[in-house]
Structure 1
Amino acid sequence: MNLTQQLQETAKNMANKPAYYFMDQMSTYAELDGAVTKFAAGLEQLGVKKGEHIALLLGNSPHFVISLYGALRLGATVIPINPIYTPDEIGYIIKNGDVKSVVMLDLLLPLAEKIHLALPKVENYIICETPQGKSSDVDITRLSVYPKLKSFSQVVASGSLSYKGPELDHDDVAVILYTSGTTGKPKGAMLTHKNLYSNAKDIGDYLNMSENDRVITTLPMFHVFCLTVALNAPLMNGATIIIDPKFSPKEIFRMVDEYEATVFAGVPTMYNFLLQYAEAYGGNLSSLRLCISGGASMPVALLNGFEKKFNVMISEGYGLSEASPVTCFNPLDRPRKPGSIGTSILNVENKVVDELGEEVPVGEVGELIVRGPNVMKGYYKMPEETAATIRDGWLYTGDMARMDDEGYFYIVDRKKELIIVGGYNVYPREIEEVLYDHPDVVEAAAVGVPDPNQGEAVKCYVVKKNPDLTEAQLLEYCSEHLAKYKNPSTIEFIEELPKNTTGKILRRALKAQVLQNQ
């Protein structure tokens, strides 16, 4: 069984059950499955073959769901990309990921025009129509990318409901998720049909998801947290997803109330905004049976304040792209422990080990490693990195953790130097490489600093060669080369960066200085 087969089964058994609501419009499971089948058939008519790579540059929408499941039904490999990435970032992933087709919003037509000449292997740009895009003054027939443009609606319309699709092996790569590495270059985690199906099934069972649930899907669908917890798991269990294109506390309260939502999944930043909004304007979440938090550690004070205000439990979990992503969650049938990421979910094993890979005693700190059917196949075209990360069947997360005598895990420290901004992973090296490309920058270092809204923000320390270079100029430069959430919030110019005896820049010393000055 895989995700698209499960969708077909659900559509047979619950044809008229609402699969999703979007912009207050409902689609049944039969309608969703039909659109998925026709999109897969339409892709085949375009010449897309099993095993080819398709990138999705889409926000939360039915387009994303239909494209994802349609491509998987065809046997293609899907590469979701954050649509707010810069052209450089998007171009790198498309090129490194050997993408041959791109499904994208019509609002991104200028992007396609800008990058397509540098991406000769891309044969199709499938454009998803939006109300905002239709009002554009762009004459697409005058664009140089025009011969490669296809209409999403036309691709669906050209497909047949009788399309069956090829046989899929559970070890075939279904999705490649690009996650930034410490080298600054994103790495593509290859997730198989088995990886995605097993994690969606196991987390759905763990959280007691059923056809009676109505799940708020406001986390970005291109992110693995949403992909499994708020998209695949609900659809596997016949639940209804309420698709929110952009997080807004006011809109979340409206949707929960109007649709009597039962499950909300978000990052700590979202919970903070919901709590602040409710305290200022009021808000009711009484229909929710469960809130799910991940992406970053939730401050215990925020967790307690939210639960007291809304009388709903927040279950914190833990995951990473390489594990599809969930490995731990606070259980629903036992006491929840604030500050803990919970216990191992079904069929997944977590343990804490020392530098030799030996399990440490209960309560001691070591590296968290994971084993299970959810662990990735490896990094795309990176065999050495794969071998370093997966050893003897265990995925080494790089996160330091401890386990108590009841099997609850606690993250003690994040991956070295990792900055988490609003639930997104930001690696310092990626930012520093952009800064080093500036002609007036001698040295640079990026660290995470506490931020009341995003959890952490990026602060950079720079040694400059041109005394006239200003912070504003450098911030503007970064905004041209980095996604918004990766941009530094502040840049401080200093005479010299701290280094060890070998000349390595000591980010931890800068971080300690920041914390000391708080």
Structure 2
Amino acid sequence: MTQRALGKMVVGDILATAAVRYADREAFYCSSTQRRFSFRQTNERCNRLAHGLSGLGLRKGDVVAFLSSNRVEIVEIYFALAKAGLVGIPLNYRLTPAEMIVLMREIGAKALLAERRFGEVMRLVEGELPGVEHRVSFGDGPAGSEHDYESLLAQSACTEPDVEVEEADPYYFNLTSGTTGVPKCYQISQYNNATLGPMFEAMDLSRRDVVLSVFPMYGRVGFAWAGCSVMYGIRNVLANFEPDATLRLIHNERVTITNLVPTMAAMLLASPVLPDVDLSSLRGLVFAGSLLPAPIREAATARLCPHLYEYYGMQETGPLVVSTPEDRARRPNSIGRAILYAEVRVIGLDGQDVPALATGEIIGRSPGTVTMYHDNPAKTAETFKQGWVHTGDLGHLDAEGYLYINGRIKDLIVTGGQNVHAGEVEERILLHPGVAECAVIGLPHPKWGEGVTAVVVVRAGQTLQAGEIEALCRQHLAGFKVPKTILLQTEPLPRTATGKVQKFRLVERYGAA
């Protein structure tokens, strides 16, 4: 059997190439520290970090945990690990310190690089994880007993590391969104992440763009935007999402494209800063992570940017389909068509493809798709079947290959023998001006088996009665789809970092009531 090719696709080469092609062009603006770095500087800093970690005694295949907000150091860590052949585990700062300790212990981390604002985690590691032999910190204030990040860079070489990294080598561990319980851990290879280009090609990204990265960088989506901006020589503005500051950054940095979840868009639309900023530089808003409710879509196109992109995929698959503004004009309710090298099918219970327009389970794969979960053979067998990832999402394809999402299989509520898709009910409820957000779940019901239950968050400053929601639903939905129970609350819905509603938490809360 011949080799696939003489060359290879690994993540470190993306930055090494950019340092040559784009050299002194600005690569990153770290908005929280107001520092700017060129592609050449970024590459040299990443090389220094790779050498510095090697100088501490870390070797190819060792696991390095890291904990940071959206600042330039987290980008440098990703690329330094790629160049050194080290395996990362980006930590979600929304987890408790105890949960982070468990993750580092289970994965076998030998080092931790952390922003100093997370000092409690650093102290716990020092006391409870002797296997984490090396600790490095960065950010405001002096280093404690750990190594100082900038000092480590200053004493290390800026040359390319002499480490042979292969496409199949593990790159980093990541967690799924955790919408149905405890997040699952999977491992991404160098090849999985080096092939991130097709989604951004579908969005027509080029050096003329300015990207704003507000997705948390500990997740796969966050790093993908950093990776693509390096790949295409694009200036990237790094920021932690805060609505007023985000709008000002778009205005001041002339941002052309940014990736949001619907919750973020709703917060931007409600910001008092919105009337005072110029958003004309925006050529596109990108959405992912959850279904885009029609009211938010319409308000975003009217008041933020008229051109929307949407993409679909799981953490495990990487992006599978993209909807462009042109696609949306033709098929406004579709999330798009398959991108280059991605494959998407819709199957029935027998595992066979269903006809166009028929609803079934969406399965997919792409070069970005991983092959298994870490140390979880049961879930691996359930999700990865015969070379395809079974998403657990319900949807259909039309005759032209446009994909439509109908909801989650687990969001299918069977009430009195009738099937109700939660997303359909949610979309109607969100039409009410007094509703900020909502989630529809199925709860045990003595008569119907499952009762359609709507958890509705009342918009601030509004008054709302359950009867108003019921009347609205009856205008648009069949009787069996109208919620049997409507629960009003003021606190936001529980969500993952990427904006997906954690419905299992609502079931736990209200199912036990």
TM-score surpassing 0.5? yes
> Which aligned pairs between 1:345-384 and structure 2 lie closer than 5 A?
345-384=339-378
* Aligned 8 A contact 1:292 1:316 in 2: yes
Task: State yes or no: 1:205 paired with 2:201.
Answer: yes
What residue ranges of structure 1 are gaps of 5+ in the alignment?
141-145, 421-425, 429-446, 455-474, 493-506
Following superposition, the deviation at residue 64 of structure 1 comes to 0.2
| 3-state secondary structure, aligned to 1:416 | helix
* Aligned 8 A contact 2:28 2:238 in 1: yes
Tell me what 2:87 maps to. 77
In structure 2, relative to structure 1, the CA distance for the partners of 1:120 and 1:241 (3 Å cut) is same
* Separation of aligned partners in 1, 2:160 and 2:334: 47
Aligned residue pairs, count = 431
* Separation of aligned partners in 2, 1:221 and 1:205: 21
* Separation of aligned partners in 2, 1:331 and 1:103: 38
| 3-state secondary structure, aligned to 1:177 | strand
Tell me what 2:184 maps to. 187
| 3-state secondary structure, aligned to 1:4 | helix
* Separation of aligned partners in 2, 1:406 and 1:263: 27
* Aligned 8 A contact 2:268 2:274 in 1: no
Task: State yes or no: 1:100 paired with 2:110.
Answer: yes
* Aligned 8 A contact 1:97 1:188 in 2: no
Following superposition, the deviation at residue 348 of structure 1 comes to 0.3
Following superposition, the deviation at residue 280 of structure 1 comes to 6.5
Deviations 1:74-103 (A, max 9, x none): 001111111231022111211122111111
Following superposition, the deviation at residue 115 of structure 1 comes to 4.1
Tell me what 2:149 maps to. 152
Task: State yes or no: 1:390 paired with 2:384.
Answer: yes
Tell which deviates more after alignment, 176-185 or 104-113.
Answer: 176-185
In structure 2, relative to structure 1, the CA distance for the partners of 1:452 and 1:404 (3 Å cut) is farther
Tell me what 2:24 maps to. 16
CA RMSD of aligned residues (A): 3.3
* Aligned 8 A contact 2:323 2:334 in 1: yes
Tell me what 2:270 maps to. 276
* Separation of aligned partners in 2, 1:194 and 1:71: 14
> Which aligned pairs between 1:123-272 and structure 2 lie closer than 5 A?
123-130=133-140, 133-134=141-142, 140=144, 146=145, 149-179=146-176, 184-198=181-195, 200-228=196-224, 230-244=225-239, 246-272=240-266
Tell me what 1:449 maps to. 455
* Separation of aligned partners in 2, 1:216 and 1:486: 21
* Separation of aligned partners in 2, 1:293 and 1:369: 21
Which of 40, 59, 68 does residue 78 from structure 2 map onto?
A: 68
| 3-state secondary structure, aligned to 2:345 | strand
* Aligned 8 A contact 2:244 2:273 in 1: no
Following superposition, the deviation at residue 41 of structure 1 comes to 0.5
* Separation of aligned partners in 2, 1:261 and 1:209: 13
Following superposition, the deviation at residue 22 of structure 1 comes to 1.4
| 3-state secondary structure, aligned to 2:211 | strand
Following superposition, the deviation at residue 233 of structure 1 comes to 1.3
Task: State yes or no: 1:329 paired with 2:322.
Answer: yes
* Separation of aligned partners in 2, 1:122 and 1:185: 24
In structure 2, relative to structure 1, the CA distance for the partners of 1:380 and 1:293 (3 Å cut) is same
* Aligned 8 A contact 1:300 1:339 in 2: no
Deviations 1:165-214 (A, max 9, x none): 3111111111211226688443211111111111x211121111111111
AA in 2 matched with 1:59: S
AA in 2 matched with 1:223: G
Deviations 1:370-395 (A, max 9, x none): 12211103111223322321111101
* Separation of aligned partners in 1, 2:114 and 2:85: 20
Following superposition, the deviation at residue 257 of structure 1 comes to 1.6
* Aligned 8 A contact 1:225 1:295 in 2: no
AA in 2 matched with 1:330: S
Tell me what 1:35 maps to. 45
| 3-state secondary structure, aligned to 1:322 | coil
* Separation of aligned partners in 2, 1:365 and 1:509: 31
* Aligned 8 A contact 2:203 2:309 in 1: no
* Separation of aligned partners in 1, 2:500 and 2:387: 33
| 3-state secondary structure, aligned to 2:215 | coil
Following superposition, the deviation at residue 219 of structure 1 comes to 1.2
Tell which deviates more after alignment, 216-225 or 379-388.
Answer: 379-388
In structure 2, relative to structure 1, the CA distance for the partners of 1:298 and 1:182 (3 Å cut) is closer
Following superposition, the deviation at residue 354 of structure 1 comes to 1.3
Deviations 1:295-328 (A, max 9, x none): 11111121112112234211121122111x2111
* Aligned 8 A contact 1:298 1:339 in 2: no
Tell me what 2:463 maps to. none
Following superposition, the deviation at residue 32 of structure 1 comes to 0.2
**TM-score, normalization by structure 2:** 0.77
What residue ranges of structure 2 are gaps of 5+ in the alignment?
1-8, 413-421, 424-438, 442-452, 461-490
* Separation of aligned partners in 2, 1:403 and 1:312: 26
* Aligned 8 A contact 1:257 1:284 in 2: yes
AA in 2 matched with 1:273: M
In structure 2, relative to structure 1, the CA distance for the partners of 1:410 and 1:99 (3 Å cut) is same
Which of 397, 400, 411 does residue 394 from structure 2 map onto?
A: 400
**TM-score, normalization by structure 1:** 0.76
AA in 2 matched with 1:74: A
* Aligned 8 A contact 2:309 2:322 in 1: yes
Give % identity: 25
* Separation of aligned partners in 1, 2:173 and 2:456: 31
* Separation of aligned partners in 2, 1:344 and 1:178: 24
In structure 2, relative to structure 1, the CA distance for the partners of 1:370 and 1:49 (3 Å cut) is same
Following superposition, the deviation at residue 401 of structure 1 comes to 1.4
AA in 2 matched with 1:156: L
